[in-house]
Structure 1
């Protein structure tokens, strides 16, 4: 996996996180809290955490350190 692929994954995960947040806001404003908004929040959280971890690893590798 090269740097371009890692950056692409980071950007994609952040974008998907924003999409799921948008779905959550839209769904809650029309129908209220139900099973789908909760799932959207879980997916958004998962994508955001995954992207943040990848960004942290990418920055550590770029800096010259070894990720733990």
Structure 2
């Protein structure tokens, strides 16, 4: 996996997080805090956490490449 691919995956994770957040907001506005809203929030949280971790790994790899 190249650095470019890793960065693309980070961006995709954040895009999915935004999508799940918008689904959760829409579900809460229409039906309150139901099953779909809670699941959407859980998926969004997971995507944000994974995206941040992948971005940290990207920065560490990039720094180690730049030092060499």
TM-score using structure 2 length: 0.92
Residue in 2 that maps onto 1:2:
2
Measured after TM superposition, the shift of residue 41 of structure 1 is: 0.3
| RMSD of Structure 2 on Structure 1 (CA) | 1.1
**Bigger fraction of residues in helix:** 2
Residue in 1 that maps onto 2:22:
22
Map Cα deviations across residues 15-44 of structure 1 (whole Å, 9 max, x no partner): 000000000001100110111100000000
Residue in 2 that maps onto 1:56:
56
TM-score using structure 1 length: 0.92
Distance 1:17 1:28 in 2: 16
Gaps in structure 2 of 5+ consecutive residues: none
Gaps in structure 1 of 5+ consecutive residues: none
Query: In the comparison of the two structures, how many residue pairs are matched?
Result: 65
Q: Is the 8 A contact 2:3 2:62 kept in 1?
A: no
